[in-house]
Amino acid sequence: MVPTPAASVSFGQYPPARRTIVHLSDTHLLAGNAPLGGRYDTEANLAETLRAVEALGIRPDALVFTGDLTDLGEPDAYRRLRAAVDPVAERLDAPLIWVAGNHDERPALREAMLGLAPTEEPVTGVWDLGGLRLIALDTSVPGWHHGDLDATQLRWLRDVLSTAAPLGTLLALHHPPLPSHVPLFDILELRDQGRLAEAIEGTDVRGILAGHLHYSTSGTFAGVPVSVAAATCYTMNLARPGDAVNGMDAGQSFHLVHVYDDTITHSVVPVTQAPTGDYFSPEWVERMARLSPEQRLEEFSRKPPRND
């Protein structure tokens, strides 16, 4: 069991988050842990990411993986992914939510990850996370890398959304309904996005979680915030012109999603071994919690005098 962290204490005008989700994406595992593109150790990078997730010291309400779970859809790659992630989810006592991406194969994903019949049926689902509803959509198109949502899946989505959830709804899908300045992703984007906009119009959808781009970005779609998590395997080096952006074995991260009554925040958590200061600590939080608001303002908020 994971203890409740001291960071759940609130000193400002916002109460602690109602729900917390860990959003990861694009693990791209291969059978036998073959190096991706001959360069990237996707299993080692995933293991480092999962260690960072556990180091948060929280008990998240869900772990959400937004697609491209494997690179070639190999059954062994899905088994290796389960072997890496399942123990972490069990220790955190958090449900796992798997989303299909363009590199995934529906039959193998359904059988290995969900225990379902190995068919080409879309990989979708609905989870009640203590009043927060999360809906997984399948934007994968068998045999292709671009994204799409067929009429049947959109009808199903409309039906689910016809009843509101107490804390609203998050959608999780692979292809983000956002523009990208990288020409490659224009080719591989989600097609016919207007149909998705019509399906969520007037509903309780509060946010969209996505992946696919291998870099973190955000925007709005049909008035709904969209948050894209970078990959655990490798990321895109955006410190280059758009037509020269390529992958790098650096900058891996995941998102920490905090759901409040009136807003949702998406914090990028870097997976790094960089030295970190030690000024703030659980002991500091406990000490501050014992002070009155006026004492906290006096001790911490007031600027020290300048030495001119």
Task: Report which DSSP code applies to 304.
Answer: P
Residue with the two structure tokens 């107490």: 166
Q: State yes or no: pLDDT of 6 exceeds 60.
A: no
Q: What is the average pLDDT across 232-237? A: 97
pLDDT of 5 > 90? The answer is no
pLDDT at 205: 98
pLDDT value at 308 more than 70: no
Token pair 């001959």 in the structure block, residue:
38
At 74, list the tokens: 């190999």
* Residues 251 and 257 sit within 8 Å (Cβ to Cβ): no
**According to the model, what pLDDT value does residue 96 have?**
98
pTM value > 0.85: yes
On the question of pLDDT at 1 being above 70, the answer is no
The average pLDDT across 273-282 equals 90
Q: What is the mean pLDDT of the chain?
A: 94
Q: What is the pLDDT of residues 59-89, one digit of tens each?
A: 999 999 999 999 999 999 999 999 999 999 9
**pLDDT tens digits for range 166-182:** 999 999 999 999 999 99
Structure tokens at 211: 């992946």
Task: Supply the pLDDT for residue 209.
Answer: 98
Determine the Cα–Cα distance for residues 151 and 102; give it in Å rounded to an integer: 19
Tokens 């960072």 belong to residue: 52
Please identify which residue in the block is written with the tokens 């529906």.
106
Residue entry with tokens 């906009």: 197
Retrieve residue 196's tokens: 């998705």
pLDDT tens-digit map of 266-275? 999 999 988 9
Distances (CA, A) of 212 to 19, 34, 139, 140, 163: 25, 21, 11, 11, 29
Which one-letter amino acid corresponds to residue 247? Answer: G
